[in-house]
A and B are shown apart, each in its own frame.
Chain A
Amino acid sequence: MRLTRSIVSLLAMVAMVIGLGLSTPVAAQQGAQINPTAKSVTEDQLLNALKPGSAAEIGGRVTIPDAKSSTLIRPAGREWREFHQGTMHLIGGIAILGMLALLAVFYFTRGKIMIPGGPTNRTITRFSGFDRFVHWTTAGCFIVLALSGLNITFGKSILMPLFGESAFAATAQLGKYAHNYLAFPFMIGLALMFLIWVKDNIPGMIDVQWFAQGGGLIGKGHPKAKRFNGGQKLVFWSVILGGAALSVSGWYLLFPYTAGGVLNLQFWNVVHGVVSMLLIGAMLAHAYIGSIGMEGAFDAMGSGEVDLNWAKEHHSLWVEDEMKKGVVPAAMQPAE
């Protein structure tokens, strides 16, 4: 019994000695000057660690359930602000005002493009009712989307001084809802336009010739064209590709966090903004030439029936094809 006790106490002593021996470095360390900043993270170190291309966020661990709150500082927000308050205004201003100026110059130098030989009283069907329905659904949505979108960027400097802040905020709120909901018919219209017109919009050598001859807009004479000429194909592909970019980016903005974190939302917002400004500029030109810029052009999307002379001028090969198919130009209904 005594022996056992002494063995136990011996073991305990050995253990204590070993323990002391092991803890000696710790004790020595505590005696020395502690410098807790030796390995502490300063904000500067972390900010310096943010090299281009790597994560533009400083984050850590949070105990609250919302994992998104684990970002501590996100310096990238400032670049997005610079873009949104600077570059975006510049791109929008140039695309829209520049295009309007260009169109004004064109209108006053070239004038309205008339039908050579004047209108006949015979028409040919250019767009069916369904074609026109798809066009105007998409166009109508686009106009509201463009205006409500421009309001987000330019509204506070243009409309807010006129409306006052409460009325402007209410308008902007309505605009936001319109933007969110009309996005869906716009996307459907876009898909339908692609399906019904893509076969006539495949680029070819004839389009190169069309552009080489200035498309009949600049210079004399009119180059040959099928159902859609080079310029119209350009419009078609701008709308399809631009619209697709707007749809994808808009979808991500509409459903936050499906694209990832805030950095992804910033990226898609930049895509959405730039593409929409450019597309608005392009659509101004499209609307000009389809209305006041050219005699007879609006009928294509208005009644769907275009003047035969207009069709021969702008879409000579298409008219020939239609004639071969046995389409007989109809006599114009007399005005009632």
Chain B
Amino acid sequence: MARMKFLCDADRCIECNACVTACKNENDVPWGINRRRVVTINDGKPGERSISMACMHCTDAPCAAVCPVDCFYVTVDKVVLHSKDLCIGCGYCFYACPFGAPQYPKVGNFGSRGKMDKCTFCAGGPEADLSPAEFQKYGSNRLAEGKLPLCAEMCSTKSLLAGDGDIIARIYKERVVKRGYGSGAWGWKTAYKETVAI
């Protein structure tokens, strides 16, 4: 099976935020939550780069390790998903996540944060594939339809790559070799304890 990963080619990202918008629309993401965001580093200075970042679906995911009710699970494609039925909204995954992915619909509300929400790699949740219950809780399940996450699929500069780790690493490597530079596979060392060797 594939090992699904995201890779943002920061030298191509033009900070159009279409991935952010596409994700919100495709998954009906609740108000106040952004499963994906584009962060601009060194804004206005030489070497400015924008990176689209979401849940990286880590190897040995910290969120899953610290969850007190073990609501996380890993699919056959190594996508890290969680069950909103089990989630108690304690906030521990959000303390542990190196990418700031877990978010809560009621962050400031005393007594409860509500059920955690994060990027699902457009792979839904534990409910039956493509069921209304799955869509309502987790959003779209494009993987079940044989499609890749919408954020990457509709990226205008093909900066954001989603898919099998080996394939997207190869694409990125080819680009770097051809154009002669690359600022690296952002987050890979933190998420997968490996990076794209060029």
Contact = CB atoms under 8 A, between A and B. Distances in A.
A78 B88 contact: no
Interface stretch (B89-97, B127-135, B152-160): B89-97
B136 interface: no
Contact of B43 (A36, A58, A60): A60
A332 B87 CA distance: 55
Interface stretch (B117-125, B137-145, B162-170, B183-191): B183-191
Given A74-B98, A75-B98, A269-B95, A62 B70 contact: no
A319 to B, nearest CB: 47
A74 B100 contact: yes
Contacts of B38: 62-63
Contacts of A77: 62, 95-98
Interface in A75-116: 75-78, 80-81, 84-85
A74 B181 contact: no
A165 B70 CA distance: 8
A109 to B, nearest CB: 38
Contacts of A139: none
B108 interface: yes
Interface string A46-59: 11000000000011
B181 A36 contact: yes
Nearest to A262: B95
B96 A80 contact: yes
A67 to B, nearest CB: 11
B99 A172 contact: no
Contacts of A40: 10-11, 47, 49, 181, 183
A69 interface: yes
A218 interface: no
B70 A160 contact: yes
Contacts of B20: 64
Interface residues of A, number: 59
A68 B94 CA distance: 12
B113 to A, nearest CB: 7
A41 interface: yes
Nearest to B61: A81
B183 A60 contact: no
Contact of B46 (A39, A43, A173): A39
Contacts of B88: 169, 172-173, 176
B98 to A, nearest CB: 4
B190 A75 contact: yes
- The CB with the most chain A CB atoms within 10 A, among B17, B32, B50, B90, is that of B90
Nearest to A84: B66
A69 B37 contact: yes
Interface in A235-286: 253-257, 262, 265-266, 269
Contacts of B68: 151-153, 155-156, 172
Contact of B108 (A75, A255, A262): A255
Given A61-B39, A72-B53, A254 B110 contact: yes
B96 A73 contact: no
Given A74-B100, A80-B95, A262-B94, A41 B41 contact: yes
Contact of A41 (B49, B87, B182): B49
B107 A256 contact: yes
B146 interface: no
Contacts of B183: 37, 40-43
B34 A66 contact: yes
B194 interface: no
A62 B92 CA distance: 24
Most buried by B among A63, A85, A255, A257: A63
Contact of B97 (A61, A63, A74, A156): A74
Contacts of A42: 183-184
A70 B37 CA distance: 8
B65 interface: yes
Given A41-B47, A43-B189, A166 B86 contact: yes
Contacts of A165: 69-70, 86
Contacts of B49: 40-41
A168 interface: yes
Contacts of A78: 62, 96, 98, 190
Interface in B24-66: 32, 34, 37-43, 46-47, 49-51, 53, 62, 65-66
A42 B97 CA distance: 21
Which 7 residue pairs across A and B have the least CB separation, nearest first? Answer: A37-B181, A39-B47, A169-B86, A39-B46, A60-B41, A60-B39, A72-B39
6 contacts: A40-B11, A60-B39, A64-B34, A70-B37, A73-B187, A176-B88
Interface of A: 35-37, 39-44, 46-47, 58-64, 66, 68-78, 80-81, 84-85, 151-153, 155-156, 160, 165-166, 168-169, 172-173, 176-177, 180-181, 253-257, 262, 265-266, 269
